[in-house]
Amino acid sequence: MELLSECKASEIFEGQVVVYKHLYAYLDSMCLKWCLDLNIADIIHNHGQPITLHHLASTLQVPPSKINGVRRFMRHLAHNGFFHITRLLHDDNEEKEAYALTIASKLLLKGTQHCLAPMSNCVLDPTLSGAYHFLGKWTLEENLTLFEISLGTNLWDFFSKNPSYLSFFNESMASDSQMVKLALKDHSAVFEGLESIVDVGGGNGTVSKIINDMFPKFNCIVFDLPHVVENFTGSNNLSFVGGDMFISIPRAHAILTTRK
């Protein structure tokens, strides 16, 4: 085995780059969380044009001592594709740096058709994302899941005891599922020959409702844990069924499972 003492300095520095790259990778998601917490995308959208740092800081009422920090965060987010840096000509004929929305940041705008802000907020929630600090312990535990280690119970029991988190989670899954409309728009042939489908882990039925709207004669069954679906009402061709997928699944021509 080759020891570090036997490696070239350039090789060691390359290794350091790999370590530091992943060590500080969390700053990408934390800057995104900062952007979501302060509704930066919505502020720029409501401004109607690219926004200067001065105007953004004024809107947010940022203390003078933190303005440089805001500039760094905005430039970091721009580097990662969330904003586009441009130049605006002011009345004094002086050009100033300004930030414009990109496709990525437009997906964070509240109330829009394909808004991914709920999904992003859920993934970045400290209580839920904090579970991944216990990967080492999870590896050595024979029967405990990651969330049982971090929360003291499995994720679904946690949601049943914390309705606000269940609502939070369902909203995030619904926002993610809205992207299904784009996927189905030009690929409806995938459902040819089918008359029914069961959406396993379907939550509030967002995906099934999209499918049902596109194919009204299609029979859609939303299948999830009883406490998840108990307050949802179906329609003629859309029904909600409670149960445990590890015990049995309602019969249908096709099974749909969505990413969780």
Residue 64 one-letter amino acid? P
Model confidence over 53-76: pLDDT tens digits?
Answer: 999 999 999 999 999 999 999 999
Nearest Cα neighbor of 45 from 131, 115, 92, 139 is: 115
Q: Where in the chain is the domain with CATH 3.40.50.150?
A: 179-257
Residue 187 one-letter amino acid? H
| Backbone phi and psi for residue 29, each to the nearest 5 degrees, phi listed first | -70, -30
H or E stretch at 222: strand 219-224
| Backbone phi and psi for residue 171, each to the nearest 5 degrees, phi listed first | -65, -40
The whole-number pLDDT of residue 2 equals 67
- With a cut of 70, list the residues of the chain below it in pLDDT: 1-2, 91-92, 258-260
Q: How many helices (H) and strands (E) does the chain have?
A: 15, 7
The CATH T-level fold of domain 12-106 is Arc Repressor Mutant, subunit A (1.10.10)
Residue 79: both structure tokens together:
């580097």
The alpha-helical segments, DSSP class H, found in the chain are: 9-23, 26-37, 40-47, 53-60, 67-79, 103-106, 117-123, 126-129, 135-140, 146-151, 155-161, 163-177, 180-185, 206-214, 226-229
The whole-number pLDDT of residue 246 equals 86
Query: 11-37 burial by CB neighbour count: b if 16+ within 10 A, else e?
Result: eeeeeeeeeeeeeeeeeeeebbbbbbe
HEC string for 78-117: HHCCCEEEEEEECCCCCEEEEEEECHHHHCCCCCCCCCCH
The whole-number pLDDT of residue 92 equals 67
Q: Where in the chain is the domain with CATH 1.10.10.10?
A: 12-106
3 state SS of 172: helix
179-257 placed in CATH 3.10.105.10: no
Cα 108 to Cα 96: distance, rounded to the nearest angstrom: 25
Cα 212 to Cα 40: distance, rounded to the nearest angstrom: 35
Beta bridge partners of 87: 97
